[in-house]
Amino acid sequence: MTDSDIISNFLKSVDVKSNEKVFSEFQLVLKVLRYPKKQIVLKENQIGQFAYLIIEGAARSYYLHNGLEVHTWFSFEGEFIGSLRNHDGLPSRETVELLEDSILLSFDMMRIKELMKIFPEITNFIYPVINEYAQFLEDRLFYTHLKSAKEKYDALIAYQPQVLRRVPLTFIASYLGISRETLSRIRAK
């Protein structure tokens, strides 16, 4: 897939009904990035103005706590990396690192906000994206809240089965808040 294929696929998917002018302006704030495994997309405490959609690949998000990496989420195709707070000039609480060679679609949020002032109709196709993202967060919050290690593990598998296939056990254990030994034993049934 070429870069422009990726961009036009995305624009099709959000159902842009705006005029040609908006359409072409909007393309300019999108950029396709191809990064190798282990590339760091966002650093903890860093202020960034970009949102990234994973077109292909996977990423892990974590923060350092007493020198240890505590994982907060794993992202795959079709999911956004980076949090909304970044787009309001607040520093990132997490580091995001790619787990595989990946293709990302970056959104220059600064420029999108400026565009929104000029073409208010852009809101109409940003809105569903934010709305869906918020529902996605509600889901995560609900499943994250389950307490026993086994329940959280099962929920993660049910909700994101690819985690098991694509993420090292150590990271999953850190995400679930249990030791890797315990996770290893849970899996051994």
Q: Mask 120-159, x = binds DNA (CB under 7 A)?
A: ----------------------------xxx---------
88 or 114: whose CB is closer to its own copies?
A: 88
Which residues from 158-177 bind DNA, rule CB under 7 A?
A: 168-170, 177
Cα dist from 12 to 16, 28, 59, 82, 171, whole Å:
7, 15, 25, 23, 35
CB of 69 to its own copies, least distance (A): 13
1 or 137: whose CB is closer to its own copies?
A: 137
CB of 187 to its own copies, least distance (A): 20
Q: Which does 22 bind (CB under 5 to 8 A by kind): DNA, its own copies, none?
A: none
Q: Which does 13 bind (CB under 5 to 8 A by kind): DNA, its own copies, none?
A: none
Residue written as token pair 């690949």: 57
CA dihedral 132, 133, 136, 141 (to 10 degrees): -140
Half-sphere exposure of 83 (CA within 13 A, CB side): 19
Residues forming contacts to its own copies in the complex (CB under 8 A) are 70, 72, 83-85, 88, 93, 120-121, 123-124, 126-127, 130-131, 133-135, 137-142, 144-145, 147, 177
β-pair type (50-56, 80-81): antiparallel
Half-sphere exposure of 124 (CA within 13 A, CB side): 10
Question: Which of 173, 146, 143, 148 is closest to 160 using CA atoms?
Answer: 143
1 or 157: whose CB is closer to DNA?
A: 157
35 or 133: whose CB is closer to its own copies?
A: 133
Q: Which residues in 106-127 are b (16+ Cβ under 10 Å) and which e?
A: bbbbeebeebeeebeebeebbe
- State how far the Cα of 7 lies from the Cα of 31, in Å rounded to an integer: 8
CB of 125 to DNA, least distance (A): 38
Binding site for DNA (CB under 7 A): 148-150, 168-170, 177-185, 187-188
